């Protein structure tokens, strides 16, 4: 919309047709406030109607509110009509499985989507209840459907929700990638020309519990052959699903694999879309694991594991001498532990993969074990599609340990592998922390860090990237910048909106906009082969910290 007046006119038309009484009432009140001179209300209406919520390789994700640039039942129905048209154009008898998590609006959106699919002639199968995201990726393959839709905003703030799409057939239950996302987006635009009330509705099937049980059995099977003995003698573990949907499935998988129960954080055990105990329901955010750490200390636990609210990511914390008594491992540390775990079982056959912003340490592990190493574009949709994949990860707490079962990041199967490894080490009188020391001794220390700047003014993100392109640093923390590469350019593979700075001490700094949140993210990697394993880690961490201090002023410019 080119003006506030046009936005208000569009908002009135939207409200008149909105089938959701809650968002209709919200929009009518917002329009009335804008017309009465409320500048904030006018700005909100203008933004909500300035365009459509972008459909991309993450599907849809945005704040729940009325308008085409928000998440609501109208946008969900339009997206489902467009996706249905794509599937019908691709095959004669398409089908789709739909799941949802515990966020506000998720079940309503899932049922709306299913009814629109069915009305368009696509067989629609709803999962039996709210379940983790990996269940949808699994169900696409298990049920042999043409596609899958998961209604979730993963670890986004409580006000958000989303619509994530998987494809079956040759895509094997992976997330959509270009050019398919663009083709679906065009069909959604066309579908939006039809009034929502005119979409036919159809009968929806509800999957039985067999889908969930099959996932539990398949996931439990990736434990060690002596899993009962290993689990029984393993470390004491505290778990939190962060008000999400992970607990039931985690408990079932661990029980089937022969592990004793975890100690769940009671305040965060049940799904709650308000996420009352955390500022952001993201285990990467400071404070998210405070309750888990307090409980673990009180219980004398030796390990903390956490899923994000839709349970496709995993966080791990270990005992530490710091003020809380615990240290959360970075995504790269967990990735290297799981990569080493996978590599030693691969016996020289297979592929390890990580996104380009993840630690180069996985490449060293792959080389030492005679395995191929592949770096992918950012986003797990690319990691999961690597041919011959044995293990893949990205630093944002996403891990794929069982590509034969799920072709997406899976925080539940990754949790099982972490506990299996921790139990094995525990039997030997060791721990995950000590294994990280051993890896540093064998391969050198690979330490990583991240600096993020969250913005409210989205224009700051491209402005920051443009400033760094125009005036890249010539040195960072006393090290010269040997190369400043713009990875969006064809000569660097057109990988994406990423700037990479390679330093003369072997360190690497990469800057990119977040794909799912209003952030600019900086990824820092440093390595050391000097001294003992502990000294190597300390030196690499010091280097990461120095580089983090050096890049912060660049983001605030």
CATH number (domain holding residue 498):
3.30.310.50
Tell me if 534 sits within 8 A of 437, measured CB to CB.
yes
Q: Which of 50, 70, 85 lies at the terminal end of a domain, its last residue?
A: 50
* Token pair in block for residue 496: 């994406």
Instruction: State whether 69 and 184 are in the same domain.
Output: yes
According to DSSP, the residues that pair with 395 across neighbouring strands are none
For residue 468, give every residue at least 6 positions away whose Cβ sits within 8 Å of its Cβ, in sequence order, or none: 499, 511, 554
Choose the catalytic residue: 146, 154, 358, 507. Answer: 154
Q: Is residue 226 part of a domain?
A: no
- Same domain for 355 and 410, yes or no, is yes
* Torsion-angle region of 370 (φ positive above 0: left; ψ -120 to 50: alpha; else: beta): left
Q: How many domains does the chain have?
A: 4
Per-residue pLDDT of the chain (557 residues; tens, 9 = 90+): 557 889 999 999 999 999 999 999 999 999 999 999 999 999 999 999 999 999 987 799 999 999 999 999 999 999 999 999 999 999 999 999 999 999 999 999 999 999 999 999 999 999 999 999 999 999 999 999 999 999 999 999 999 999 999 999 999 999 999 999 999 999 999 999 999 889 999 999 999 999 999 999 999 999 864 544 444 568 999 999 999 999 999 999 999 999 999 999 999 999 999 999 999 999 999 899 999 999 999 999 999 999 999 999 999 999 998 889 999 999 999 999 999 999 999 988 999 999 999 999 999 999 999 999 999 998 899 999 999 999 999 999 999 999 999 999 999 999 999 999 999 999 999 999 999 999 999 999 999 998 988 888 888 899 999 999 999 999 999 999 999 999 999 988 888 899 999 999 999 999 999 876 788 999 999 999 999 999 999 999 999 999 999 999 998 75
Contact 326, 320 (CB under 8 A): yes
Is 154 an annotated catalytic residue? yes
219: in domain: no
| Domain membership flag for residue 12 | yes
d(CA 389, CA 349): 10
Same domain, residue pair 71 and 199: yes
Give Cβ neighbours of residue 392 (< 8 Å, ≥ 6 apart).
352, 353, 354, 376, 380, 383, 384, 386, 399, 400, 403
Does residue 470 lie within any of the structural domains? yes
Does one domain contain both 135 and 80? yes
Do 265 and 412 sit in the same domain of this protein? yes
Q: Are residues 237 and 302 in the same domain?
A: yes
255 and 347, same domain (yes or no) = yes
Do 421 and 308 reside in the same domain of the chain? yes
Last residue of a domain, one of 411, 441, 471: 441
Domain extent, residue 31, equals 1-50
Residues 365 and 412 in one domain: yes
User: What's the CA gap between 137 and 554, in Å, rounded?
Assistant: 39
- Do 41 and 168 lie in one domain? The reply is no
| Residue 182 counted as domain residue | yes
Residues 489 and 404 reside in one and the same domain: no
Same domain? 284 vs 155 = no
pLDDT of residue 529: 95
Segments in 145-226 forming alpha helices (H): 180-191, 210-220
* Main-chain dihedrals φ then ψ at residue 211, nearest 5 degrees: -65, -45
Q: Does 216 reside within a domain? A: no
Whole-angstrom CA distances from 327 to 40, 244, 412, 526 are 42, 22, 21, 19
């Amino acid at each position: 919309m080119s003006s506030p007046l046009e936005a208000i006119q569009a908002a009135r038309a939207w409200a008149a047709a909105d089938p959701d009484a809650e968002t209709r009432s919200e929009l009518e009140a917002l329009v009335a406030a804008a017309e009465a001179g409320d500048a904030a209300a006018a700005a909100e209406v203008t933004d909500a109607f300035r365009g459509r919520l972008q459909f991309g390789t993450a599907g849809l994700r945005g704040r729940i509110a009325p308008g085409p640039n928000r998440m609501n039942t109208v946008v969900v129905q339009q997206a489902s009509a467009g996706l249905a048209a794509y599937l019908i154009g691709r095959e004669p008898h398409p089908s789709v499985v739909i799941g949802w998590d515990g966020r506000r609006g998720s079940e309503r959106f899932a049922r709306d989507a299913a009814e629109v699919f069915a009305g368009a002639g696509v067989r629609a199968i709803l999962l039996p209840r709210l379940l983790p995201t990996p269940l949808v990726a699994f169900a696409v393959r298990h049920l042999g459907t043409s596609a899958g839709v998961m209604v979730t905003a993963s670890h986004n703030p409580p006000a958000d929700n989303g619509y994530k799409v998987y494809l079956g057939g040759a895509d094997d239950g992976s997330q959509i990638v270009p050019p398919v996302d663009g083709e679906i987006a065009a069909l959604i635009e066309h579908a939006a020309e039809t009034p929502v009330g005119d979409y036919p509705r159809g009968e929806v099937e509800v999957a039985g519990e067999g889908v969930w049980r099959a996932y539990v059995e398949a996931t439990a099977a990736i434990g060690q052959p002596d899993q009962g003995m290993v689990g029984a003698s393993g470390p004491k573990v505290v778990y939190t699903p962060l008000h999400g949907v992970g607990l039931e499935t985690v408990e079932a998988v661990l029980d089937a694999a022969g592990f004793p129960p975890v100690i769940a954080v009671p305040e965060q055990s049940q799904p709650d879309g308000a996420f009352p105990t955390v500022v952001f329901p993201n285990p990467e955010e400071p404070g998210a694991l405070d309750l888990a750490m307090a409980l673990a200390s009180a219980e004398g636990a030796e390990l903390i594991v956490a899923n994000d609210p839709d349970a496709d990511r995993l966080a791990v914390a270990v005992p530490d001498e710091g003020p809380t008594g615990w240290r959360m491992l970075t995504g790269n540390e967990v990735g290297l532990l799981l990569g080493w775990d996978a590599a030693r079982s691969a016996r020289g056959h297979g592929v390890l993969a990580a996104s380009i912003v993840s630690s180069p340490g996985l490449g060293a592990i792959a080389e030492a074990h005679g395995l191929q190493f592949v770096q992918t574009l950012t986003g797990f949709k690319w990691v999961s599609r690597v041919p011959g994949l044995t293990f893949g990860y990205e630093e944002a707490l996403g891990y794929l340990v069982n590509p034969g079962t799920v072709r997406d990041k899976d925080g539940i199967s990754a949790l099982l592998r972490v506990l299996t490894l921790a139990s094995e080490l525990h039997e030997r009188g060791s721990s995950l922390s000590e294994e990280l020391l051993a890896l540093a001794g064998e391969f050198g220390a690979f330490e990583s860090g991240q600096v993020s700047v969250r913005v409210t003014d989205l224009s700051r993100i491209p402005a920051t990237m443009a400033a760094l392109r125009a005036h890249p640093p010539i040195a960072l923390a006393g090290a010269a910048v040997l190369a400043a590469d713009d990875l969006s350019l064809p000569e660097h593979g057109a990988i994406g909106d990423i700037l990479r700075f390679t330093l003369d001490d072997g360190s690497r700094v990469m800057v990119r906009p977040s794909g799912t949140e209003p952030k600019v993210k900086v990824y820092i990697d440093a390595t050391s082969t000097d001294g003992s394993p502990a000294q190597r880690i300390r030196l690499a961490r010091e280097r990461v910290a120095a580089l983090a201090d050096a890049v912060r002023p660049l983001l605030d410019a």
